[in-house]
Amino acid sequence: MDKDQHIDALKACISDVTLDMDPHKMRQMGYQVIDTIVDHISGLNERSPANFADPPTMKALLDEPMPEQPQTMEALLDTFKERVYPYAIHPDHPRFFGYFPCSGSIVGILADALASGTNFFAGHWYAAAGPSQVELVVLDWFKTMLGYPSEAGGLLVSGGSMANLTALTAARHNKLGERFDDGVLYFSEQSHASIDRAARVIGFRQDQIRYITVDETYRLDMNTLKQAVEADRKAGLRPFCVVANAGSTNTGAVDPIFDLAAFSMEQNLWLHVDAAYGGFSMLSDRGRHLLRGIDEADSITLDPHKWLYVPFEAGSLLCKDRKSLERTFTMHPEYLQDIDRDDNLVNFCDHGIQLTRSFRALKIWMTLKHY
C-alpha cells in the first residue's frame, strides 16, 4: 500500500468512527474494565508476583503497524490480558518484597479513573479551583504531619525523582542566581540516584558535586561534610545545598537531619530532605524521633505512592518558603496573560516544572478520607 492509499484508508476509517458514545455503551465498557481490575486484585494469590519475558518475545506478541480498523473493548481487553498483563511484576502482590511495596487501594484506583474521566487541567486556579483546593488540602495534611508552617508551599508531582529535581532547581535559583558555575552541591554517597541525575539535568558538572562518605551505619558523616564545605569556600567556590536522606533506598538509613539543619543554617545552605522512602514514618513516635529536625529543612520530598496505598504516580514536594518556588518557576508567556496572579490564589504551574498537570490529588484525598 502506497502513501496515498494509506491516507485514504485512514480517512475511510475516521469517517465511520466517532469519539462520542451513548451512555449505555460507555457504562458497558466501564464495567468490563472494572471487572478486569477486580479480577486482578482478587486473584493475586493465585498468580506469581513476577513474570519476565525477553524483548524478542514481547516484540512477537505486540509489534504491529498503527491500526487502521477499530477494535472492540472486548478485543482490546483480551489482548491486554493475554499479551500484556502476564509479563510484568505485580508490586501489589502479597509476596512482592522487592524495593518498596506499592499497593494501590481500590479507592485510589477508582479515584484515578475519576480524575482521568473528568480530565481537569490542574495547572492553575482559574481552570480548576476545586481540584486546586483539594491539592492544597492534601499538602496541608502533609505539612501538619511534618511540622511545617501553614504558609509553606509545595505541589504534587509524579514521584521522588521529579520532587528532587524541582527542589534542587529551586535551591540553585534562590541560592546561586543566574550564574552557578562555581556552585557546589553535597549529598551522601548512599543518596538516591535521582539526586545525582537532577544535579546533571540542571547543569552542574561532575566537579561541582561532592559525594560525602558515610559512617558505619550508612549515615552521612558530618565531619567529612564540614571539611568539604570549608575547603570549597577556601577555594573560592560557593557551597549552596546539602541533601539529607530520610531513609535511603539501599539500607533505610536516616542521615543526622537535626545536625544537618543546624549546620545548613549556620552556613547559609539550602537543606533538602529526600524523605520519599521514610517521610511518612513521621506518623509514628519512632519516626518522629528518627526524623527530628526535618521541620527545619527548606524542602522535603515525599512519596504518597509508597506509604499511602495510592496508585502510581503520586509524589510530593514541600517547600518552606512558597515564594522560592514562584521565583524559580513563574513565567509570563502571552498565552497565560489571563491567569490571575493574586497572592491569595495558588497557581501550581508557578510552583514547578509542569504547566499541564493531572488531578493527582484526588486519589490521595479520597484514599485518606475513606480509610
Check residue 2 and give its pLDDT.
73
Encode pLDDT of 130-181 as tens digits.
999 999 999 999 999 999 999 999 999 999 999 999 999 999 999 999 999 9
- Is the link from the previous residue into 178 a cis peptide, with omega within 30 of 0? no
C-alpha–C-alpha distance, residues 351 and 337, integer Å: 17
Contact (Cβ atoms closer than 8 angstroms) between residue 243 and residue 186 = yes
pLDDT of residue 10 exceeding 80, the answer is no
pLDDT of residue 368 exceeding 80, the answer is yes
Check residue 98 and give its pLDDT.
74
Check residue 1 and give its pLDDT.
61
pLDDT of residue 60 exceeding 90, the answer is yes
Check residue 114 and give its pLDDT.
96
Check residue 94 and give its pLDDT.
85
Check residue 261 and give its pLDDT.
98
Contact (Cβ atoms closer than 8 angstroms) between residue 301 and residue 275 = yes
Encode pLDDT of 89-118 as tens digits.
888 888 888 776 677 899 999 999 999 999
pLDDT bucket at 250, cuts 50 / 70 / 90: very high
Encode pLDDT of 299-343 as tens digits.
999 999 999 999 999 999 999 999 999 999 998 888 877 776 777
Rg of the chain (C-alpha set): 24
Check residue 12 and give its pLDDT.
66
pTM for this one? 0.91
Encode pLDDT of 282-300 as tens digits.
999 999 999 999 999 999 9
Instruction: Please report, rounded to a whole number, the percentage of residues in the chain having pLDDT higher than 90.
Output: 82
C-alpha–C-alpha distance, residues 95 and 102, integer Å: 12
Query: CA angle 46-51-55, nearest 5°?
Result: 155
Of 300, 344, 342, 304, nearest to 318 by C-alpha is 300
Check residue 16 and give its pLDDT.
60
Mean pLDDT of 224-242: 98
pLDDT of residue 15 exceeding 60, the answer is no
Check residue 360 and give its pLDDT.
96
Mean pLDDT of 226-255: 97
Which CATH topology does 3-84 take? dopa decarboxylase, N-terminal domain (1.20.1340)
pLDDT of residue 268 exceeding 80, the answer is yes
Which distant-in-sequence residues (6+ apart) come within 8 Å of 166 by Cβ? Answer: 155, 157, 317, 325, 352, 353
Average pLDDT, the chain: 93
Residue ranges per structural domain of the chain: 3-84, 111-370
Which distant-in-sequence residues (6+ apart) come within 8 Å of 115 by Cβ? Answer: 358, 359, 360, 362, 363
C-alpha–C-alpha distance, residues 155 and 166, integer Å: 10
- Least confident residue range of 211-215, 305-309, 357-361: 305-309
CATH number attached to the domain at 111-370: 3.40.640.10
Check residue 333 and give its pLDDT.
85
pLDDT bucket at 19, cuts 50 / 70 / 90: confident
pLDDT of residue 364 exceeding 60, the answer is yes
